[in-house]
Amino acid sequence: MASNRWLATGNFFTTYQEEQRTFTTRLDQLIFSIFLLTLFIWPLLFELSRTYMLVVDNILIAVVAVLGLNLVTGFAGLISIGHAAFVGVGAYTVASCSRMIGDSHIIITHLWPVMIIAGGLAGAVMGAIVGLPALRLKHLYLAIATLSFQMIFEWTINFMAFFNQGQTIFVGRVMWLTGEVGRSDHYVFWYYVILIVIVMCGFGVRNLFKTRYGRALVAVRDNDRAADAMGMHPGLTKVYAFALSGFLAGVAGALHAYLYRGAGIESFTLHHSISYLAMAIVGGLGTLNGSFWGPAAIQFLDLQVENVAELAGHYMPSNMNLATALRPLTFGLVIVLFLMFEPRGIANWWRIVKSYTKTWPFRY
Amino acid sequence: MGKTIRKNLFALNLFLAFAVVVCITPQAFAGGKVYKMGLSLAITGPTSDAGNPYSKGVEDYFNYVNDTKLLGDDKIECMIRDDQYQTAVTKRNFEDFLDQGIVFYLNYSTGSTLGLKRDFEEVQIPVLPASFHAGNVEDSHYIFLPIASYSEQVVSLSEYVVNNHKGDKPKVAMFIHPSAFGRGPVGDVEKSIAAGLNMEIVEVVEHGKDLDNTAMLQRLMSKNVQYVICQTIQSPVATMIKDAARLGISANAFGESGKITFLGAHYTGGNDLIDLAGDASENFFWITSYTITSEPGPGTDFQLSLAKKYGRDDKAANSHNYANGIMVAQVATEVVRRAKEKGLDISKKTLHDELNAMNGDNAYQPPTTVGPVTYSSTDRAGVDSLQIYAVKEGVFRKVGEPITSQYMKKIK
Amino acid sequence: MKIIRFFLTKCSGDRYIAMSYFFQIVISGVVVGSIYALAALGLVLVYKSSRVANFAHGQIIAAGAFITYALTVWASIPVYISFVLSMLITFCLAWSVERIFLRRLIGEPIISVIMVTIGLASILDGLIYLTPFGTENFSFPSFFPQEPIMVGGVSISWTQLVGVIITFILIGGFSWFFKKSTVGISMRAVSDDQFASMSVGISVPGVFGLAWATAGLSAAAAGCIIGNITGLNFDTLHSFGIVVFPVVILGGLDSILGAVVAGIIMGLIQQFAGGYIDGNWGLNGTGEVLPYIILLIILLIKPHGLFGIHEIERV
């Protein structure tokens, strides 16, 4: 490991292991560790209001879901317009367990990590099933197949009495070493849980792309015939991309069910699928850090627009329409403007900032 | 690129900070106390045709309270937020309202009311939703329905059918929304029938986005259905009654034999239905607890003057959802007034107690409803009396006097 | 046949009523299907030339209906003129949308273009919420006779009939346009191979603009007819942009004839589901979801639809 990144002027790797390392320099590692540490410590230092903690939790859950979406859409190049349905599968796995065995059963309250993984597995299974058309379909046709999964999912939940016809199915409060996680600690507790999940998923995804399975995804995206010629099975690779993405979505869904203490169909509609896509695009498709930027940016924007709309409402009381129209308008504009002017998303700004600091004071 | 963004963000934050100062300053000088309330509802997105006038009603009434000093020097500040019919956003708004110290919360959709039920229990805050779903008040101590539940409305309609039908057992079909909102009352009607209500449900139809209901209507005709009771929103009902009018099978008077009479609960009717269905809405029977502007009275005069005062257009002014919004704001104001009168500190608890005590001699009669609001710890549905209206020559007209359901008590 | 007879007898004892019920469902299915086809036409036109699925189509449908209403009722222009005017306005609207937003994205990956149309849908939502149409309900004044046309116990309304006629006029017109006219042929050429058509002097961006514009025109027509049937409610109208996706996929995304046939098939399926499945076996609202289930099955066994160009490509 080169000890000082400022002195590194080129690629001096001598072994494959060296190239595959997660951190190129010790400084990188240190900075990242400090960053992680800050993420874990700050809630202990400042007390954020419950609303903002909820917003932060929400962003983090969206990060998990968008990570999954990025796997399938960004890295494997398969458009999914049904991602919220996969998230819903995870949430409803937890919720239907809770409905069967009671919402404060020991399995729900004590074995919640198991439930979260179960949610992920259910998402993975559904992902693989929905991915099956990918064996034959490409591009738009595949997008439409995922859209129909979204519709069928919504109908099923809305229709079946078992799922409470789409109304909230409650999930009880969980237990931790210190006892039941009460209302005051709820959001902070789940902040930590989701953060740990994200760190695990983030490293998982990052490491995935050092394996042949990860590289197969990208190869199939870039040229599936070439990938075929090199001995990969493009169809199976796509199915497996869907399964992986479904797993992450399912985990996000299970977390959502626990965070909101219940699952209801309103949180898993087509609108949310579109939001996830928007987050992935604004963040930067096919980049790992884009999965973090996107949700943060979209949710932050949503909050700011709400504030502005509220202000506008103060000054134009009889003209509420203007204030409320702002929200869909800005949401749409952000997507369109990003696609037109920065299709590589915020991740690209990050790249620019990074390379600027790296080469400073020189520029090219 | 990054630089300009940062600059813009800075400018935005500066602007926001400035704006917050501007907003807060006048209140700081006003004197008197400020009681905070919150309303989260769908002003855009699904059901916004109801949510939009509703929000205007709430906003205008609270402005009216403050402008006319109904609470003396004290003021009510009600924050109104759009949640686009998404429970997650509703929850965020609610948490934010709590952080800002609200003492009373107004909610909107069935989904979010049920979804947040446990939070309401935990923080012990009184809630008035715009959804009259009977399930809202189950296992809950803090949710109060403004008027009788959908179940009660639909059962009352069924009773009206039974009482006014001539001939054998009336055959009824139900036309419902494909969700719990639509399905909920079906079970209660079935229970009423089991308890002795003399009618037969021939079919329960769940609608989709249909462009043509001819086949469905013909099927109902072939099964000798004479009444269709709707529990959904206006748009599908409009499509159906247009088809029925075209086929010449909609009854010209209640219970005309060989034809179908259409009836519907709160959210199927109002001027929106007439707007959507035009002439086909003639002789549609609608049940609600609100007074409407086509039947003028002191309540509707007040409603119209309020709309005029705050510059609302005719459509909003005459909307029953505007009346709906005014009414929940009135109830909220009334409990604050009562608590103040008793010299109590205004808090979530005192307001909740005041709501629970709102019965007997203490019942509250808002001008815009057909009966008094009564709550107690066992009955958390507000206005129990319901008024049936029917469309005559393009406007809703009163049919008889306000009624209350008999069978709802029996099946409880 | 046996199954059909079983259904018929199940629904009502009387044979005659059962038969007329059956025919009513067929007719309703065809009528509804034609309207679907008209709504789907715009999607097909755009896809045919530029390979883009337009998720903002529902919003343009709604806009067309609202413009017609505004012109007819607020500006008191005779309805036939305002119908044509609104088609012209959406023609220009869709053309400018293409010019402003999509022109820059020629050659970008398909996901970008799909997302731009989704973004556009949101922008149009916002713009419509600025008008009273976003949250209020309206209905067209009745232009046509109220009495239905009855043929042997089967009824069809004037609105529906006019809808079907307009559908077939437009679809016939577009089919002719694509087969015979120079512009139409150049549009087909562009859809086949952009570079080759550029090399023979066809303006590819011009063709894209025209495709969007004609799609806008057909959307306005669809909007007026649907608005006449359901009343003008924004939620209801814009959802048709999504509802017709199964139709275009079934027909093959790039075939006008396919859209018509598939529209009618979908209309029939929905009406039959509503007429014979709903209410039995505890099922309800199947007309909503059945198209999507069929869609998934079709995608699995015949991905390019009934009439779509079959590109030989297996992965």
Domain boundaries, chain B: 31-148+296-379, 150-288+387-411
B65 or C25: which leads in pLDDT: B65
- Does the distance separating the beta carbons of A234 and C130 come in below 8 Å? no
Residue A229: which domain range?
48-269
pLDDT tens track, chain A, 364 positions = 444 555 556 667 788 777 777 777 788 889 889 999 999 988 888 888 888 899 999 999 999 999 999 999 988 888 899 999 999 999 999 999 998 888 888 888 888 999 999 999 999 999 999 888 777 777 777 888 888 889 889 988 988 888 888 888 888 888 888 888 888 888 999 999 999 999 999 999 988 988 888 888 889 888 888 888 888 888 888 899 999 999 999 999 999 999 999 898 989 999 899 999 999 999 998 888 899 999 999 999 988 888 887 777 666 655 556 667 888 889 999 999 998 888 888 999 988 888 888 777 777 6
Which residue has 């209660």 as its token pair? B188
In contact, B201 and B227? CB cutoff 8 Å: no
What integer is the mean pLDDT of B238-258?
87
Sequence-distant (≥ 6) Cβ neighbours of residue B86 within 8 angstroms: A266, A267, A271, B45
Confidence category of residue C287, pLDDT binned at 50, 70, 90: confident
> Which of A116, A125, A118 has the alpha carbon at shortest distance from A242?
A125
Report the C-alpha gap between B377 and B171 in whole angstroms. Answer: 37
- Does the distance separating the beta carbons of C289 and A155 come in below 8 Å? yes
Highest-confidence range of A112-126, C100-114, C163-177, by mean pLDDT?
A112-126
pLDDT surpassing 50 at residue C3: no
Instruction: Enumerate the residues of chain A whose CB falls inside 8 A of the CB of residue C115.
Output: 277-278, 281, 335, 339
CB nearest B55 (choices: A167, A309, A320): A320
Identify whether C217 is part of a domain.
Answer: yes
Identify whether C315 is part of a domain.
Answer: no
Task: Give the per-residue pLDDT at B286.
Answer: 94
Mean pLDDT in chain B?
86
Entry field: residues in chain B:
412
Which residues of A lie inside 8 Å of B (Cβ-Cβ)? 49-51, 54-55, 58, 158-159, 164-168, 170, 183, 260-262, 264-267, 271, 304, 306-311, 313-314, 317-318, 320-321, 324-325, 327-328, 342, 349, 352-353
Residue C116: which domain range?
16-137+147-301
Rounded to a whole number of angstroms, the distance between the first and last alpha carbons of chain C is 40
Burial of C233 (0-12, 13-18, 19+ CB in 10 A): buried
Which of C57, C103, C248, C299 would you mutate first to test chain A, the one with the most A CBs within 10 A? C299
CB nearest C230 (choices: B238, B248, B272): B238
- The arrangement of strands across the sheet holding B75-82 comes to B75-82, B34-41, B104-106, B127-128
- At C199, which CATH number? 1.10.3470
Report the C-alpha gap between A84 and A126 in whole angstroms. Answer: 12
**What are residue B403's DSSP bridge partners?**
B386
B157 or C279: which leads in pLDDT: B157
Q: How far is CA C235 from CA A324, B340, C11, C246, C270, in A?
A: 16, 43, 33, 19, 20
CA atoms within a 13 Å half-sphere pointing along the CA-CB vector of A27: 8
Instruction: Enumerate the residues of chain B whose CB falls inside 8 A of the CB of residue C137.
Output: 49, 234-235, 272, 275-276
Q: Subunits touching C (CB < 8 Å, at least 3 pairs)?
A: A, B
**Domain B31-148+296-379, what architecture?**
3-Layer(aba) Sandwich (3.40)
CB nearest A321 (choices: C111, C130, C249): C130
pLDDT tens track for C6-62: 444 444 445 556 777 788 888 888 888 998 999 999 998 888 887 788 899 999 999
Instruction: Enumerate the residues of chain C whose CB falls inside 8 A of the CB of residue A330.
Output: 126
As a dihedral over the C-alpha atoms of residue B368, residue B371, residue B373, residue B378, rounded to 10 degrees, the angle is -150
% of chain B beyond a pLDDT of 70: 92
Reduced to 3 states, what is the DSSP secondary structure of residue C66? helix
B120 or A108: which leads in pLDDT: B120
pLDDT surpassing 70 at residue B6: no
What integer is the mean pLDDT of B336-345?
90
Number of domains observed in the structure of chain C: 1
E strand or H helix that includes residue A140 = helix A139-159
- Does the distance separating the beta carbons of A285 and C293 come in below 8 Å? no
Reduced to 3 states, what is the DSSP secondary structure of residue B82? strand
Number of domains observed in the structure of chain A: 1
Which residue has 């030989």 as its token pair? C312
How far, rounded to the nearest angstrom, does the alpha carbon of residue B60 sit from its chain's CA centroid?
17
Task: Give the per-residue pLDDT at A23.
Answer: 78
Identify whether C177 is part of a domain.
Answer: yes
Record the pTM: 0.88
Size of interface B-C (CB pairs under 8 A): 139
Identify whether C230 is part of a domain.
Answer: yes
Sequence-distant (≥ 6) Cβ neighbours of residue C89 within 8 angstroms: C67, C220
Confidence category of residue C162, pLDDT binned at 50, 70, 90: confident
Instruction: Enumerate the residues of chain C whose CB falls inside 8 A of the CB of residue B52.
Output: 135-136
How far, rounded to the nearest angstrom, does the alpha carbon of residue C310 sit from its chain's CA centroid?
22
Instruction: Enumerate the residues of chain C whose CB falls inside 8 A of the CB of residue A278.
Output: 115, 118-119
Report the C-alpha gap between C111 and C34 in whole angstroms. Answer: 30
Task: Give the per-residue pLDDT at C278.
Answer: 67
ipTM: 0.86
**Domain B150-288+387-411, what architecture?**
3-Layer(aba) Sandwich (3.40)
Identify whether A133 is part of a domain.
Answer: yes
Mean pLDDT in chain C?
82
C312: closest CA of chain A, how far (Å): 11
Q: How far is CA A174 from CA A107, A178, A193, B117, in A?
A: 10, 11, 12, 18
Task: Give the per-residue pLDDT at C285.
Answer: 66
Identify whether A76 is part of a domain.
Answer: yes
Q: How far is CA A284 from CA A36, A203, A351, in A?
A: 22, 18, 11
Task: Give the per-residue pLDDT at C6.
Answer: 46
